[in-house]
Structure 1
Amino acid sequence: MLDGGKVLEPEAEARRAALAARDPAGWSDADRIAWMVPQFEAAEGQFRRYGSDFAMEPATATLADPPSWFGLRASRAAGGLSNLWGAAVLPYRQEDMAGWPITADDLGPHYQAVAEFLPIAGVPDDLEALLPAFPMSGRTGLAPASQAEALLTRLRAARGAIEALGASVGGARQAVDTSCRRCGLCLHGCPFGLIWKAGDTLEELKAAPGFDYRPGQTVVGFAESPESVTVHLDSGESVTGTRVFLGAGVLETARILLASLPGLDALVLRDSQHVFLPMIQRWRNRTRPDKGAFHTLPQIFVEIDAPEISPHLVHAQLYSWNEHYARDLIQNYGSKLPFSHPFFTALARRLIVAQFFLHSDHSHRISLTRTQDGRLTASLEPNVNMERISRAAAGRVGKVMGKAGLTALTFAARPGGPGSSFHVGASLPMAREPASGESDALGRPNGLLRVHVIDATSLPAVPATTITFSVMANAHRIGTHCP
């Protein structure tokens, strides 16, 4: 395995270990604030965990001239962007895979195989009828935050009215160990390391016979011959093997492909556009949502199956209180209303936010080309239907949640920039009969036999439901069935 291999710096790891050595009940407000401050101080578009930038490359490391709208970033860390993800896990629905050279049933055994090492917290509920490829029987969920628990109760009571709007609702599924301490620091790096990251599995692989891990490597390209593949590194060295699996993340993979495939001048990333929709609860909290034990990962999933909006699912993840809400309200509105900070802090405790995603068919696309220095340039290919469909989706999510006692502030809905959902890929899509710029059902670029693209690059499209679980299942499928 050739890997960038960046890891958390020793001082940051020592800080994490020191906090994890103490029971959360004994942490002071100062302890919690100190843990959060590095993320709040991060540059625009950068996400930190554990107070470190090790897991995300700055835009200029990947792009020669990063446009201001571009929200996607690469990673050269051990475990890549899984060091930063929100841990949401769902399979794909067959209807959202129409025209693919594989089916949801093809992925089913590989979802199961991935789940043998990926911890998945969740319980059986109404989502299984809609997304049957990975059943949840026998699993245990994380206890929802008090605010989310109250909302789930209301959603269940309004089930009939919600189904009439084309919606299915269930508890979130997260790739988190169910021994979660519910300390509320999820979005800044779990001090206990209970949110799964690929680096956890990498440590297990290092003990496997025949596995050779080489960190600190940057691949600049490859060349295939009839019997082997030679991978070229930026150090000037080369590594030769009989087969290569390329899964560097969609930006780094694009850089490598554009340098390696003659005649390939551009790759077009397909984005799953996301929108943040704030909602105010109309009931009174029995307890303060910012006190006690809770987690701040997604709490509830809502799937909208409404052909009048889209032939594909619209997927929404609901977040109850977290420490970003009051900060955002004060930053956006506090300067206009003197002495309003206490009001916005109290308002944040009644705020629930839906982050919803559209299928890539309804989203902007991003064209990538390679510059002389080996970096990428990005240009936007707008989708003229995106705003109309996102407004319709926001309205429907608002109607659904209105049945459970929330008032959606659709006027304040905030779309993320292209790529910022990190649900991006399909730039070398698998096809039954691949042409130039496509790959076969084993992720092999057209004309190649020994190179398999196994990250989101080879997906034929990007459905709205969560991306990581399906990328992992597809990679496992390719690894299982390749010659």
Structure 2
Amino acid sequence: MDRIKNLVVGSGPASIATVKALQDIGQEVEVIDVSYDLEHHIKHQVHTLSQKHVDSWKDEEKKRIFPPPKVSSSGVERRYIFGSDFPYRTPEHFQVNTTNCNTEFSHGFGGLGNVWGAAILPYSERQLRNWPLSLSELAPSYKNVLRFMPISAEPDNLQTKFPLFSENFETLKRNPATDFILQKLTNVEDNLRGNGIEFGRARLAVDASSGKRGCRYCGHCLYGCAYQSIFNPKTLFEDLQKDGLTIHQGFVVLELKENKEGVEVIAVSIDDGKVYNFFAEKVFLAAGHFATTTIVARSLNLLNTPIEIQSSQYFFFPFLTYKRHHYEIEFTLAEIFLEIENANISPEQIHLQLYGRSQIIEDQVAALLPSFISKDLALDRLYIIQGFLSSEDSDTLELTLTNKRPDSSTVEIKGIENPRARWVIARTQSLIRRSLIKLGLVPPFYLKVLPPGKSYHSGGSFPMKGEHETFSSDLLGRPANFKNVHIVDSANFPNIAGSTIAYTIMANADRIVRSIKFS
């Protein structure tokens, strides 16, 4: 097999940022990935729907393409795309056993970019204080990412700590409830700021323009975007494939071996079960932190060695308004961000996202409410707040490679509880209640804390400039004993901030590529 100049492992957000950066600087690049994909008959149905105006969609089409996910009082069990579970399918060559956690990772084409909530914020200077680089060093890469990823945003108070990094953006329209809540918050913003709370319109990787991929406000954002308005790496990769990018699909990368000639990539085909060897001058690991951690652990022969993975604790609680707001469901991603820095709760930042009405929330309300309370009465007043803690305040995960066969790997992942997480979350909800109740905005006492791993915001198994010689990587994401292997996903993060994660993953991948001295 011919030697590849630069080989990127994976097809999610980290991978597309790596590929785009390599192409920008004139480097040859190929991709290797499992790439489970949407079923052909569903692709055809989605394409047919995308050629129509929203108003002409038939009810039977919508029911077929946008089946709701399973929802309970514990939240969304799993969110599919157009009713397909392809983002979550796991090849038999990568076996995972879990304890006390709820992990999700993807071998789908586009990774978890197929089902993410599209919320994007850069890390603030404070959130980067334990990193071996500053916000100013990441800033050019945040800007580079916005050259291929759309952003919907509004200029607001969040800009002070979370720069927009672009003057070329458009904004999704507000619904009446969002307007009402933002106005209420604006009326008391000085008091909120005194409690360490800043707020603003949610920033989303969504095309808000009137162009071909602009949002059409169909109201099915959480089930799949037929118009491709929500940023998805898969869409860009499909475009790049048409332009000639080689993607070796159907391969699980198991292990890497480096010598003077370059890097040998050992992979198994999910089609015939045979092991294949690829050879590259440089390899970029963008497989997602679980898969990347497994590949590095196997390559370093860390068998039966527990590896800590940092995680952002995820929680949610309902949010009520005294005033009813009945409106058509046109958009269902996050509407408002609230950022909390309050030393009485934590030295770390806490990130909250407020969601308005959607079928998911309506189903969740039905699971939460006692039978004697009218569902319809509650729905026009109820919203959901999702929260994320920093890894310092959160439960952790532990991954152990327990078996490394010639054609497969087995890992065990377990959750390790941090009692501080529940303490911080309870006081966060209490602060929100005290701050907003006089405004007619009431967070009830119900609170749900999800198991570690459920936030999707995890990483840090081989942190840049980490203290341990083996369990660390350098500023270029290179783990121990490797000179031409670069971790470019969150497995190299020094910590996981209580914030969105994909934007910073992509920016850091871009930074690493542009910092390398290629021969």
Within 2, Cα distance between the matches of 1:120 and 1:460?
26
Counterpart of 1:359 (choices 382, 390, 393) is 390
CA RMSD of aligned residues (A): 2.2
TM-score calculated relative to the size of structure 2: 0.86
Q: Any unmatched runs of 5+ in structure 2?
A: 1-30, 209-213, 269-273
Q: TM-score, normalised by structure 1?
A: 0.92
Q: Which of 147, 150, 157 is the matching residue for 1:119?
A: 150
Partner of 1:65: 97
Higher strand proportion (structure 1 or 2)? 2
Query: Are residues 1:254 and 2:293 paired?
Result: yes
Equivalent position of 1:168 in the other structure: 198
Residue identity opposite 2:102 in structure 1: G
Q: Assess, with a 3 A threshold, how the Cα gap between structure 1 residues 148 and 136 changes in structure 2: closer, same or farther.
A: farther
Paired position in structure 2 for 1:329 = 365
Moved more, 109-118 or 258-267: 258-267
What SS is found at the alignment partner of 1:385?
A: helix
Q: Report the Cα offset of residue 380 of structure 1.
A: 2.1
**Stretch of structure 1 that moved more, 42-51 or 151-160:** 42-51
SS of the aligned residue for 1:96 comes to coil
Structure-2 change in CA distance of 1:10 and 1:114 (3 Å) = same
In structure 1, the residue corresponding to 2:409 is in which secondary structure? coil
Does residue 368 in structure 1 map to residue 399 in structure 2?
A: yes
Counterpart residue type for residue 442 of structure 1? L
Aligned to 2:34: 4
Q: Give 1:203 shift.
A: 2.5
Alignment match, 2:337: 301
Q: Answer with 458-467 or 395-404: which moved more.
A: 395-404
3-state SS of paired residue (1:315): strand
Structure 1 letter corresponding to 2:86: F
1:58 and 1:73 in contact (8 A); partners too: no
Q: Which moved more, 1:457-466 or 1:3-12?
A: 3-12
Higher mean Cα deviation, 169-178 or 394-403?
A: 394-403
Letter in 1 for 2:202: A
**Equivalent residue for 2:18?**
none
Shift of 1:422: 0.3
1:191 paired residue number: 226
Could you tell me how far apart the structure 2 residues matched to 1:302 and 1:114 are? 24
Q: Distance in 2 between matches of 1:52 and 1:399?
A: 42
Match of 1:252, SS state, is: helix
Cα deviation per residue 1:254-289 (whole Å; 9 max; x = unaligned)? 22112111346232111100110211111232xx23
User: How far off its partner does 1:36 sit?
Assistant: 3.5
The aligned counterpart of 2:420 is 385
Which of 466, 487, 494 is the aligned partner of 1:460?
494
For residue 347 of structure 1, the aligned residue among 369, 378, 385 is: 378
CA contact (8 A) 2:93 2:409 kept: no
CA distance in 2, matches of 1:450, 1:345: 59
Contact 2:319 2:441 in 1 (8 A): yes
2:48 is matched with which residue? 18
1:397-431 Cα deviation digits (max 9, x unpaired):
3334435431111x211112211010111111111
| Secondary structure of 2:112 counterpart | helix
Which residue type is aligned with residue 117 of structure 2? Answer: G
Q: Partners in 1 of 2:399 and 2:343 — Cα distance?
A: 32
Deviations 1:146-168, CA, capped at 9 Å, x for gaps: 21122112212222222122111
1:300–1:317: 8 Å Cα contact kept in structure 2? Answer: yes
Q: Distance in 2 between matches of 1:160 and 1:404?
A: 14
Residues 198-239 of structure 1, C-alpha deviations (whole Å, 9 max, x = no match): 112213333556x42111111111111133110001131101
Residue correspondences, number: 470
**Residues 1:53 and 2:85 are matched in the alignment:** yes
1:63/1:378 contact within 8 Å kept = no
Residues 1:396 and 2:431 are matched in the alignment? yes
Q: Report SS of the residue matched to 1:94.
A: coil
The alpha carbon displacement at 1:75 in A equals: 1.0
Whether contact under 8 Å (2:71, 2:77) holds in the other structure is no
How far apart are the structure 1 equivalents of 2:66 and 2:240? 32
Which structure 2 residues correspond to residues 46-445 of structure 1 after superposition, within 5 A?
46-57=78-89, 62-67=94-99, 69-132=100-163, 134-178=164-208, 179-207=214-242, 211-234=245-268, 235-263=274-302, 265-285=305-325, 288-289=326-327, 291=328, 294-333=330-369, 337=371, 343-372=374-403, 374-402=409-437, 404-409=439-444, 411-431=445-465, 435-445=469-479
Distance 2:166 2:191 in 1: 25
Which structure 1 segments of 5+ residues have no match?
none
Matched, 1:481 2:512: no
Q: Counterparts of 1:215 and 1:86 in 2: how far apart (Å)?
A: 26
C-alpha contact (below 8 Å) 1:71/1:417 kept by paired residues? yes
- In 1, distance between residues paired with 2:515 and 2:165? 23
Residue identity over aligned pairs, in percent, reads 28
